[in-house]
Amino acid sequence: MSRRESNLFARPCLAFLMLVAMSILTGCRALPASIGMTLIGDAVSDADVKNRYEKLAGKGPEAADEMFGSRLETLVDTRRPEREVMLYNVKGDVLGSSRYVVEVSDGAIIAVSKKTKNKDGVEDVVRQSGLKGKLIGKNPRECESEGELGKALLVLRSHETGTLVRIYDAANWTHFGGARYCILRFDDVDLCEDINLVGLDASSKKGGVVKGRS
């Protein structure tokens, strides 16, 4: 293993040891095992995403298609039409819960991220179920009010279907290894039809696709 690769694994391991120490000092009897697994998994994703971004940076969208395979969807930023977000499957992900996210601006790739649905496990599933019970069938304004979502970080339109995808900040809902975004999908009359809580495994830029929004 190279020194650079070693450092990628050392940082999360150090963070995990600090968490263990804090739990002992504060009298906590247990530390969620998912946190340790998340740290290790994120280190692997970080190296993977970094390597892929280095190969794709500045190239056109077709380079991502060649690397990742069939594109699942292309989403266009409604506030900045020159900016697109492309979604791809993650090979080997048997649950189908992870996606590579490639951001393009003015025809050139500027970021690569990897995200996972319900990263916090049962907690995210329960929270998602509660939101669906309140928000499915509601318009965007009703969703923001009744779901206490705040303003959307990004509003995207599917190139394939023409329907809207609205992304909200969910970082305050979970611990640092859990969901970061609440993603609402709307039908062709702008009523909510699906909700997902998504965690950020790794990104070539801080904040993932929401950084640099206008």
Which of 22 and 172 is assigned the larger pLDDT? 172
Q: Are 88 and 99 in contact (CB under 8 A)?
A: yes
Which of 192 and 123 is assigned the larger pLDDT? 192
Listed in sequence order, the residues at least 6 apart from 138 whose beta carbon sits closer than 8 Å to its beta carbon are 146, 191, 192
Coil, strand or helix at 213 = coil
Coil, strand or helix at 104 = strand
Confidence (pLDDT) at 200: 87
CA distances (Å), 4 to each of 7, 47, 50, 51, 149, in order?
A: 5, 9, 12, 12, 39
Q: Which helix (H) or strand (E) holds 44?
A: helix 33-56
**pTM (predicted TM-score):** 0.75
What is the chain's mean pLDDT, rounded?
80
Separation CA 85–CA 101 (nearest Å)? 7
| pLDDT tens profile 66-85 | 999 999 999 999 999 999 99
| pLDDT tens profile 134-153 | 999 999 999 999 999 999 99
